[in-house]
Amino acid sequence: MILATRRACQPTRSGWQREMAEAVRSPRELVTALGLDPSLIEGAARAARLFRLRVPWSYVRRMRRGDPRDPLLRQVLPLDVERESHPGFRADPLGERAATTAPSLLQKYRGRALLLATSACAVHCRYCFRREFPYAEHAAAPRWREALAQIERDGRIEEVILSGGDPLSLSDGRLAALTQALGRIAHVRRLRVHTRLPIVLPSRVDAGLAAWLSGLKWPVVVVVHANHANEIDGEVRAACAALRAAGATLLNQSVLLRGVNDDAAALAELSERLFEAGVLPYYLHLLDRVRGTAHFEVDEQRARSIAGELAARLPGYLVPRLVREIAGAAAKAPLPPRFAT
Ligand code: SF4
């Protein structure tokens, strides 16, 4: 049963910023609202000390009441197992410290630079590869100034990727200030936005955001992040339609997560729902091995088999590329699908 009590899913109607401010932060509140076993609360509270719980009500309303295995809940509910150590799982599995060329700026791949526009997210995904990212060190520098100076210095940077945190958690005014500054750098020819907000808080895509997007000087690619078909409801479809109407090309990246989307049927349904929303599947990432996330890992052989089954079910344009990110590599490493014999 989809969560439907008025008390538990009180909608907020005063704009996305208020919805963000009113996001659920307490394990007790989340467990109670979903009618889950209260014994979950203690472990969730312990794990939330490592990485806080945060989830907007609009996302909670898409979860099934009374189901601890709900694929949306699993993405956000802290669990005691996050406190376990596992070999190979560490704070910075992608070597992002080494890729930092200025505060808030990462340069991993040729021609592109990733600007960490903010540390804030509307939701805290338990598998996040930046859950231990030292945002405070980056915020210590005057915001964006050094990052913009580095982009200006490096004439090879043709594409800037706004990331974070979630860049769309910035106000329209802050976004406009940032893109105006980028617009003065002649060699920047494309803008990409990596965001989960149109999925978890679709009210973010309002008239102000659409006006900002449609006023940009570059072709813009918005890469959203959905992992399961249940995340895509009518509000998300409307948000995606508004982004497209504002001129954005929409792609999706997912993470292959045990207990969330680790079967071909679930991924096929996700691709179909995304397509109905005007979004093409782009990447299916193997889990980045950050501390506290081992319980989400799907091993490479099984991932390739799932990708093979997915490819056998769907037309090619609905099949995301299965990839692994390797610290220091020149590009993401594609993993070939394994087909059943
Ligand atoms: S929205 Fe992205 S950056 Fe934020 S917690 Fe989730 S995965 Fe991490």
User: Mind spelling out the 3-state secondary structure of 181-242?
Assistant: HHHCCCCCCEEEEECCHHHHCHHHCCHHHHHHHHCCCCCEEEEECCCCHHHCCHHHHHHHHH
On the question of pLDDT at 1 being above 80, the answer is no
pLDDT tens digits, residue range 172-203?
999 999 999 999 999 999 999 999 999 999 99
Q: How far is the CA of 120 from the centre of ligand 1 (A)?
A: 9
Structure tokens given for 21: 């401010």
pLDDT tens digits, residue range 244-274?
999 999 999 999 999 999 999 999 999 999 9
Q: Which pLDDT value is given to residue 43?
A: 96
Q: Which atom of ligand 1 sits closest to the CA of residue 164?
A: 3
- Taking the model in full, what pTM does it have? 0.94
Ordered by start, the domain boundaries in the chain are 16-83, 100-334
Q: Which pLDDT value is given to residue 135?
A: 85
* CATH code for the part of the protein at 100-334: 3.20.20.70
Q: How far is the CA of 121 from the centre of ligand 1 (A)?
A: 6
Distances (CA, A) of 155 to 64, 110, 163, 177, 181: 50, 11, 20, 21, 16
Q: Which pLDDT value is given to residue 227?
A: 98
Average pLDDT estimate for 148-168: 97
Between CA 182 and CA 189 the distance in angstroms is 10
On the question of pLDDT at 295 being above 90, the answer is yes
Q: How far is the CA of 339 from the centre of ligand 1 (A)?
A: 32
On the question of pLDDT at 7 being above 50, the answer is no
Task: Let me know: does 217 contact 248? Beta carbons within 8 Å.
Answer: no
Structure tokens given for 305: 């088999």
**Could you tell which of 77, 166, 256 is best to mutate to test the pocket of ligand 1, judged by most ligand atoms within 8 Å of the CB?**
166
Average pLDDT estimate for 142-154: 92
Identify the residue whose tokens are 């002649």. 186
Q: How far is the CA of 123 from the centre of ligand 1 (A)?
A: 7
